[in-house]
Chain A
């Protein structure tokens, strides 16, 4: 009926839950306030203004979707790959903002202010990127609901 999870399955599960939670939480304010998020993206000055609304609508949905899929364990590797890809983009954006000396809010979790761009933010995102690796590469799923194999 039930079995113990292996250490690897536990690791994958923990990474999935943390990443999924972080990405879903990050999407909530952006989904409610796309205009504020568009402004937050604009502050980085790396995207042409005409594309700001498209990005402000699409990115939070992608974050919420990948977060939910990670937690549910559905399309785990694809979700982990996209999460890693988004995190790499965030790291690049933060790094370029730092290199250009921009004093801006990161727009990561809150569209009105929030954490300023800095080295600590960069390290946090590198940590998130590392969390993407077990769900992406591991053979085992860890726990997932709706799976007959686990019941």
Chain B
């Protein structure tokens, strides 16, 4: 009696696949190590982040200057960190625009955030997500956008005021805003 071409076998396809895949991954680690050692000019395994500094889409504002702007009250601060902003300390009074929910978050601020407003975007620390949000804001016509160097981590370290984010809800956004967030941006893992 013949078997169908894709019939399940006694040993699960997936258990075999995963076992083999694990072995290949380990083998690749060994080969990678070997080839790295054999290279005459080796790149360091951990890259110097400054070598790969982002080509930022907006000017960078340093913490001291940002605190001055904060005290003046003319600038709007935008928290770009992924995930649920509820209960998470951030720069006091900051609005939330996450890259993964950019359109929804921007829509919720449609009567608060205007293209002529001076804006400072910030993330957790490495400016990756903030830079992406800055680029998208500029593409939507927001010209005066700056990126906070060091993000909320540097702000906190410098003794800046922390508080809750201001999260206005547009009509029909209540449900989605309450839903658990599944953003997986790299910055959250850093």
Kindly state whether residue B21 has any CB partner on chain A within 8 Å.
yes
Contacts of A100 in B (CB 8 A): 99, 132, 135-136
Kindly state whether residue B92 has any CB partner on chain A within 8 Å.
no
In the complex, the answer to whether A53 meets B29 with C-beta atoms within 8 Å is no
Contacts of B48 in A (CB 8 A): 49
A38-B43 contact, Cβ under 8 Å, with A48-B128, A50-B49, A77-B20: yes
A101-B43 contact, Cβ under 8 Å, with A57-B32, A69-B24: no
A42-B52 contact, Cβ under 8 Å, with A34-B43, A48-B190, A57-B43: yes
Kindly state whether residue A137 has any CB partner on chain B within 8 Å.
yes
Residue of chain B at shortest CB distance from A48: B190
Taking CB atoms and an 8 Å cut-off, the chain B residues in 50-74 that contact chain A are 51-54
Minimum C-beta distance from A71 to chain B (A): 14
Minimum C-beta distance from A83 to chain B (A): 10
Contacts of B44 in A (CB 8 A): 53
Kindly state whether residue A88 has any CB partner on chain B within 8 Å.
no
The complex places the Cα of A80 from the Cα of B31 at a distance, in Å, of 19
Minimum C-beta distance from B57 to chain A (A): 10
- A 30-68 binary contact with B (CB < 8 Å = 1; else 0): 010011001100100111111111101110011001100
From the candidates A8, A53, A78, name the one contacting B24 in the complex (CB within 8 A).
A78
The complex places the Cα of A137 from the Cα of B8 at a distance, in Å, of 9
Contacts of B132 in A (CB 8 A): 45, 100
- What does DSSP make chain B's interface, helix, strand, loop or mixed? helix
Minimum C-beta distance from A105 to chain B (A): 14
Q: How many A residues face the partner with a CB closer than 8 A?
A: 41
Minimum C-beta distance from A13 to chain B (A): 13
Minimum C-beta distance from A139 to chain B (A): 6
From the candidates B7, B21, B54, name the one contacting A81 in the complex (CB within 8 A).
B21
Residue of chain A at shortest CB distance from B187: A48
The complex places the Cα of A78 from the Cα of B53 at a distance, in Å, of 36
Q: How many B residues face the partner with a CB closer than 8 A?
A: 45
Contacts of B35 in A (CB 8 A): 31, 57, 61
Contacts of B131 in A (CB 8 A): 45
Contacts of A139 in B (CB 8 A): 3, 5-7, 9
Contacts of A45 in B (CB 8 A): 54, 128, 131-132
Kindly state whether residue B28 has any CB partner on chain A within 8 Å.
yes
From the candidates A34, A47, A138, A140, name the one contacting B186 in the complex (CB within 8 A).
A47
Kindly state whether residue A75 has any CB partner on chain B within 8 Å.
yes
A interface residue numbers (CB < 8 A to B): 8, 31, 34-35, 38-39, 42, 45-54, 56-58, 61-62, 65-66, 69, 75-82, 85, 100-101, 136-140
The 10 closest A-B pairs by CB, nearest first: A78-B20, A49-B49, A78-B21, A75-B20, A77-B17, A49-B52, A53-B47, A8-B5, A81-B17, A62-B28
